[in-house]
Structure 1
Amino acid sequence: MAHGAGDLRVEQVALPAPRRDEAILEIAYGGVCGSDLHYWMHGAAGESILREPMVLGHEVVGTVVQAAADGTGPAAGTTVAVHPATPGDGAAKYPRERPNLSPGCTYLGSAAQFPHTNGAFSRYSVLPSRMLRPIPPGVSLRTAALIEPASVALHAVAGAGEVNGRSALVVGSGPIGALTVAALKRAGAAEITAVDMFDKPLEIARALGATRTIQATDVDAIAATEADVVVESSGNYRGLSSAIRGAARGGRVVMVGLLPTGDQPVPISLAITRELELVGSFRFNNEIDEAISALADGSLQISSAITHEFPVSQALAAFAVAKDAATSGKVLLRFDEAAH
């Protein structure tokens, strides 16, 4: 549970009584996300500022131990992934396929609203049955822990438009960037160039389908890429600058990395003179179902993104490793400490 900047605790929390449309899950694995790290390090993720202690975690998978009393959702014993979003009251004003844009949308482990929305980094969690997605046989819970971030990657690639046979550039090869490489490969990109500051993320990107890698400091090589499609996933203005410079004339830049609030110094003049399309990409919608199907049929290979696994009792160590982008990819917390 995050209590404030630099204050992360493993502690006992009472399990709330489920409503009729809620199930009780035994959580198996949870992936540490960049937003979890921001709440730990800064007490905020972007403009979402901690105002009260909050349970972190939205990348979770587990087993239903008590089904919803109203009969909705999966039965007890079903292994499930979790769609952590709840569209806001304004969802009706937006296209039905884009509820992620609705005002007031809440997300597990998010301080965007007050009271905050607790996450699911806990041995047991009470969640609405509509959030639960059964995991097909043959997909391990460990790999399934990547379903939520893989859905973010699939949403970004969908925003890129036609990818098959085209060249792609991914700037920032952390977990989301690496999973985006895998999603681009599945979509048929002919060439995939991955960029990062560190060797380890580039190694992971190659394992997931990158055909070429470039160090982020080699700005000339990035600019010479002239990719048809660029995905910016570093969440840094320098990364966005590189993404703009590395795009071909008439290309599209999908911005999935969440930059800090406020103005950003990037070469917008190049976007104008090259007629680039700059497209935002925020979370995901039904791509979670696509991610599950793709894992089941083998068209999305992503397990190499996982580099570390810690029991929840070592959560502080896990967060410290996840913070070190030079040595880690996706870091998992294991909530059943007897499982491996």
Structure 2
Amino acid sequence: MAESAFAGARYRTFSTGRLLVLAGLLCAVACAALLSLVIGARPISSNTILTAFTAYDPTDFDHQALFLFRLPRLIAAILVGGALALTGALMQAVIRNPLAEPQLLGLNAGAALAVVATSAAGLDVAGLTRPAIAALGAFASFAIVLALSGIGRSGATPLKVTLSGVIVSAFAASVTSALLLIDDQALQDLRLWLAGDLAGRSSDNLAITAPVSVAGTVAAFLLAPRLSALALGDEVARGLGINVKRTRLAALSIAAILSGTAVTLAGPIGFIGLIVPHLVRRIMGENIRLQFLACLLGGPVLLLVADMLARRLIAPAEIATGVITGAVGALFFIILVARHFR
């Protein structure tokens, strides 16, 4: 009862300005999506795109390229960008660490290691099995990060959590590389995927990962009122009838699921979950649901822009999308660290 009353009071603050921001982000997603369909090694005009959707011609090369390659790549970018941004927002809310992000804290590396280790063991994973394995790897990796950062009298401080995440990520990446070196064919098949890339996504990949990602997103929104109470402090949350440990476990499980599906679809793309939640929180304030909505829109915009840059910088060749997000994210991370620890 206390929880519902708290949630009702907190979410009546949808100001006009914030709604306009959400509308602007929605327009930005639409514009970025259209540009993503147009831009490529062979540009496709907007008229051709419209014709392909209204009167598809299976003999037209541009129509085939649009539906077989560019549209699945666009949908993958929207799913992955939203999932990673939402994961970052969840982690920053739960562990109260402004530097929390799935790449920095080991979730992406753990998910990638789980997928590669399963393949190296000769197990044929298909359907929903691969996202489940990736999610378990992400959860296990982050559990190790929390355990390491909790050692010592000071407990899990933001700096210790971040350093532990970097250590676990480096270890998981080295083990992943060792497994791939054993199998040259696997190395060739997974090299681009491990760099973080959206190329080559198929409708089968999307059919498997999209339902899991949507389910994780819905679960995050259902958990939002509890996270809002948690932001006021553990004692206040308990006074409002919130089970703090269960809420944290649920949030971290959802983060692992979202991160696992994103890694399954596009490899370990980094820093989307760091950049977007920080910018969103500055604009949208402390309202968790508004933050989540903005992350679901801002994440795809950032990833779509990065993907278009990856396709055009050295055209007709392409750069892995993760290289672009890594370069931008590293600079953003340095600025955050300098401001947070000065």
TM-score of the pair, normalised by structure 2: 0.29
Highest RCO, 1 vs 2 (Cα 8 Å, sep ≥ 6): 2
Choose between structure 1 and 2: higher strand proportion.
1
Choose between structure 1 and 2: higher helix proportion.
2
